[in-house]
Amino acid sequence: MNIKKYTYLIWILLTATASKAQFSGGFYAGIIGSQIDGDATAGFNKGGLNLAATVQYPVSEKFFMSLDLGYAQKGAQTRVSPGFPRALLININYIDIPLCINFYDRQHVGFTAGLQYSRNVGKIRQEIVQLGNSTRVFGIDAFENDDVQVVLGGTYYINNIFNLNVRYGYSLFPIGYGKGSLYKDNAAFNNVLQLRLGIIFGQEFDAPIKNKK
């Protein structure tokens, strides 16, 4: 992982935010629930951390573009419960760079759509344990370092600084290949849910947020 390169990118984002009045920017922190479609398991059981810096630029009264630079822990995991230990764990650390168009409707609510490029920045961890039951766990045989996802989301603006954001992402191209996959060419895809708290500075909406009477 090239720490200097990513630190420099963050510095550029924050400098642009501070030097241009029309820009706003800030940070997100939250949790991830993820799975890998194609590993012969199901469920958003793999928890992870998401941290991101963001810059935003208004393109109209109700729309703004956003560019993030974030760190995300993704992967897959079988459900763990008493008497039923974990059979599969896949942990992948990504740098995420989503470019999105965002809509805000004055009543605290916003919507997001865009594309995200992700790059694996660490050693991929995969643990498979056959538990002796009738269900065989396959995992992923080969991983790709790059991922391109379509992202969709919704945001609740608590005020002009704080917001709660929910985002969903799905791979457009395979992130790996596994013999247990039912997809074409044994492909596997990231399937990710995020819940985040955002702190944004310099954000101005087209009208003050007013509570309904």
pLDDT tens per residue across span 152-181: 999 999 988 899 999 999 999 999 998 888
Tokens encoding 111 = 């919507």
Residue 211's CB is within 10 A of a number of other CB atoms, namely 6
- C-alpha 182/C-alpha 137 separation (Å) is 13
Contact call for residues 189 and 175 (beta carbons, < 8 A): yes
Low-confidence ranges of the chain (pLDDT < 70): 1-21, 81-84, 106, 131-135, 205-213
What the block records as the tokens of 178 is 């596994």
pLDDT at 171: 97
The token pair at 128 is: 């498979």
Q: What single string gives the DSSP state of each residue in 102-124? A: EEE-SSSEEEEEEEEEEEE-S--
pLDDT at 5: 59
Residue 170 tokens, joined? 């799905």
Q: Give yes or no for a contact between 142 and 177, defined as CB atoms under 8 angstroms apart.
A: yes
For residue 18, what pLDDT is reported?
A: 47
Give me the pLDDT at residue 15, please. 55
